[in-house]
Amino acid sequence: MSEVGLFAHLPQEIFDVILSDTSLDHIDVCRFGGVCRICHESSLSPATWKAKFKQRWPRLFCSFPTGGDPPEWREEYKQRHMFCSLISHLLSQLSAKFYSKQDVGEEGILPFLAEAEKSLNGFLYMKDELLAILNDQKSRGLLTKKFYARKVLGNIIRSRLKRDWCEFFSLPPGEQLLEHGAAIISLWCQPMMDVNYQQISTNLDSIALRVIEALRRRNIKISLGQESCEASQSRTILETINTLQSFHLPPLYHCQVLEMKTGIPITLSIVYAGVARRLGVECEAINFPSHFLLRWREHPELSDGQEFTYIDAYNGGLFMSRPECSRLLPAAELPDSCFQVASTLQVLQRVVRNLVAVHREQGQLGHSVPLLEVLRNVVELQCILDPEYTEGCILLTRINLHLGINHAQSIDLLKRIPINPLPGLAESLLRHHKRALERLKEEEEEIAKELNTKSRSLYPAVCYSVGLVMVHRRYDYSCVIYGWDETCKASESWIIQMGVNNLPQKQFQPFYNVLVSDGSSRYAAQENLRLSLNPTEITNDEIGRYFQDFTGEYYVANDQLRGRYPEDAAGVAMTTSATDEEPSD
């Protein structure tokens, strides 16, 4: 047999082993397929493309279901590969359009959602590519790309979760599991975290299995997933749960409770009830004020509420009778409604109300933009779960207006408010949002004219350039310059409040917009700044809005910032190469 004939009779498994080698990528496989007809047919093997997919995107590969018909791996590889260039192209368009806006909002993610809808796994591939960009620690010059990738990822995940909420509440009440709803809340609030319901469920299963093992050592046999248990066993099961869990410190979200085994009362109660249900004990949430409690039917032979024992998950799973519960609020007269079962929706609404309260404490309107964006996301979730809550709807529209985003959404919300608790406020917000919506088109036309370039050559008193890493002489914080004015442009009241009028050069000197490592942005006088002798990266979420790279000495402005300060790049190079020319202390 000739060599060609021998080659033609090689089994496909041999080709699969060769082409699946990790030293070969998809380009090598395609080139092999172009050699001849036999090679072409061999290069189409599903086994080869399955291996290539797994090698390049291992975490994504694990997300495919193991049962059912296998995917067309070559086609799946092709679609996932196309998202690399597609996402890069879409992200590159955002900086020019949203540079002067605080967030991309719904307007910015529409092109991304449109592309994700074009294929069955489009959303999954888009999310994976955005995460790959955010986790890329090797490539240089990605700061602006990562900045918008983070904003887009959060927005498209929340857009997808709106569908998940609809599906969740369309389930029969008995199938609306609290831990599932809490997992959706976790992902809504922390879209960058790798959280999904299956992981939450697996973690609860593992806790339940530990309980089963502890009970078996006492010769008590129960199984995971049993629908019910004997009434005499229920207390023993719950007491065993109490010995395995410690409930003390209060992290914010459900996923953190599973990792740390600690959390706020309502979240711990969700975990507690989920574990108990897996062991056959049905624990119900009740509408107890201020302190979240569970109950279970310990004494089914009794009635008039005496059949229930109440559980305080936050205090180590403490068991209480109804009179003992009342002592938690001794000054209040508690009606029967406080001991009634709370629906899944009511519990989740309560979780979100707690989150809103926490975030309102951390950052009010007018505070840092990142905190305000987080508050906006939580308030939006509150409006989804409780659309009749007028105060939440008004707060959401106020934050949207402050951030300059989602005007159409805000207008729709304001039109649906049945009762206005603050006369004139809703009408005023409605007018502002309509005007803002009208201005969107005007702004798009004005973007090219909006540069307001500042040339250093016209202002010789300006010593420093955008991109330089500085240190504040008085407060010793590190920062990077992202803008400057030839003289102070702040209001007279701000000048007096900040003591600028007491400086040697007062307000008649250059002032710089700086991003600080504590996450804030500030406005600093030139005489209060000096060049950092040991520049380090500035940990500020807004860095990517203005800069594309950090060289180790200074930040490189992106296209938008460079367009506003066209001569500053030369100034940066000159300053960093001749630090001895810096004004002396």
Residue 216 maps to a domain = yes
H or E segment to which residue 309 belongs: strand 308-312
CA neighbor of 500 nearest in space, from 515, 482, 512, 488: 488
Looking at the fold, whether 279 and 215 belong to one and the same domain comes out as: yes
Query: Rounded CA gap, 269 and 286, in Å?
Result: 11
Residue 538 maps to a domain = yes
Looking at the fold, whether 12 and 44 belong to one and the same domain comes out as: yes
Looking at the fold, whether 8 and 69 belong to one and the same domain comes out as: yes
Mean pLDDT of 224-245: 86
Of residues 329 and 77, more confidently modeled: 77
pLDDT tens profile 321-378: 999 998 888 877 888 889 999 999 999 999 898 888 877 776 554 445 667 888 888 9
Q: What is the DSSP letter of 522?
A: E
Looking at the fold, whether 308 and 215 belong to one and the same domain comes out as: yes
Handedness of CA 238, 243, 246, 247 (dihedral sign): positive
Residue 551 has pLDDT above 90, yes or no: yes
Mean pLDDT of 415-433: 62
Which of 153, 187, 219 is at the close of a domain?
153
Of all residues in the chain, the percent with pLDDT exceeding 90 is 53
Of all residues in the chain, the percent with pLDDT exceeding 70 is 86
- Please count the structural domains in the chain: 4
pLDDT band at 437 (very low <50, low <70, confident <90, very high): low
Note the pLDDT of residue 409: 77
Q: Which domain holds residue 196?
A: 173-346
Note the pLDDT of residue 364: 52
Mean pLDDT of 401-406: 77
Residue 352 maps to a domain = no
Top mean-pLDDT range of 160-174, 411-425, 434-448 = 160-174
Q: How many residues are recorded in the chain?
A: 585
Residue 487 Cα to chain centre, angstroms: 39
Q: Is 255 exposed, middle or buried (0-12, 13-18, 19+ CB in 10 A)?
A: buried
String of DSSP letters for 283-319: -EEB--SSS--EEEES-TT--TTTTEEEEEGGGTSEE
Residue 19 maps to a domain = yes
Mean pLDDT of 110-124: 93
Top mean-pLDDT range of 12-16, 164-168, 326-330, 571-575 = 164-168
Query: Rounded CA gap, 44 and 48, in Å?
Result: 8
Q: What is the DSSP letter of 480?
A: E
Note the pLDDT of residue 422: 53
Contacts of 533 (CB under 8 A, 6+ apart): 579
Residue 164 maps to a domain = no
Distances (CA, A) of 8 to 4, 141, 417: 6, 48, 73
Which of 280, 315, 346 is at the close of a domain?
346
CB 158 within 8 A of CB 191: yes
Residue 450 maps to a domain = no
Query: Rounded CA gap, 540 and 517, in Å?
Result: 6
Residue 526 has pLDDT above 60, yes or no: yes
**Helix boundaries (H) for 363-497:** 369-385, 390-403, 407-415, 425-446, 492-497
Half-sphere exposure of 193 (CA within 13 A, CB side): 18
Lowest-pLDDT choice from 19-33, 182-196, 522-536: 182-196
Which of 385, 416, 441 is at the close of a domain?
441
Looking at the fold, whether 320 and 179 belong to one and the same domain comes out as: yes
Looking at the fold, whether 212 and 312 belong to one and the same domain comes out as: yes
Note the pLDDT of residue 438: 60
Note the pLDDT of residue 253: 45
Query: Rounded CA gap, 71 and 103, in Å?
Result: 37
CB 125 within 8 A of CB 77: no
Looking at the fold, whether 487 and 542 belong to one and the same domain comes out as: yes
Residue 421 has pLDDT above 60, yes or no: no
Residue 53 Cα to chain centre, angstroms: 27
**3-state secondary structure (DSSP) of residue 337:** helix
Residue 234 has pLDDT above 80, yes or no: yes
pLDDT tens profile 82-106: 999 999 999 999 999 888 887 888 8
Looking at the fold, whether 383 and 307 belong to one and the same domain comes out as: no
H or E segment to which residue 307 belongs: none
Note the pLDDT of residue 365: 44
Query: Rounded CA gap, 201 and 537, in Å?
Result: 39
Looking at the fold, whether 144 and 238 belong to one and the same domain comes out as: no
Looking at the fold, whether 134 and 259 belong to one and the same domain comes out as: no
Residue 561 maps to a domain = yes
Looking at the fold, whether 342 and 291 belong to one and the same domain comes out as: yes
Note the pLDDT of residue 574: 75
Residue 269 has pLDDT above 80, yes or no: yes
Mean pLDDT of 305-332: 89
Looking at the fold, whether 122 and 218 belong to one and the same domain comes out as: no
Residue 353 maps to a domain = no
Mean pLDDT of 137-151: 93
pLDDT band at 434 (very low <50, low <70, confident <90, very high): low
Note the pLDDT of residue 77: 97
